Amino acid sequence: MQKEPIPIVLGLISIVAVFTVISTLLIAVVEKTRSIAILMTIGMTPVRIMMIFLVRSITIGAMGSALGALVALAFVWIQSTWHLIRLDGAIYLVSELL
């Protein structure tokens, strides 16, 4: 009974994370509107400006993914070392994680 809502909760968390990333990038574009206008005034093409934002977005995404992976690895190491989370064997088919 407790295992049924887990995919729903993880799905909702993923959706919130995606919207957070998208809104962060949109805020960055809105905050840089004046800079974009200046770049266009000095002759930079819209494609080149888009590439700047694309590279920035990919960099931010990669750094966030790397940081998230490192934090997850730290949690896995802590759990495997000290077994902080114990599970009820009657509900789950394992008694502890890792």
Query: Are 55 and 63 contacting, i.e. CB atoms less than 8 angstroms apart?
Result: no
Q: Where are the domains of the chain?
A: 6-64
Q: Which of 17, 14, 53 is nearest to 35 (CA)?
A: 53
Q: What pLDDT digit, counting tens, does each position of 62-88 carry?
A: 999 999 999 999 999 998 899 888 877
User: CA 33, CA 2: separation in Å to the nearest integer?
Assistant: 48
Q: What pLDDT digit, counting tens, does each position of 17-43 carry?
A: 999 988 988 898 899 999 999 999 999
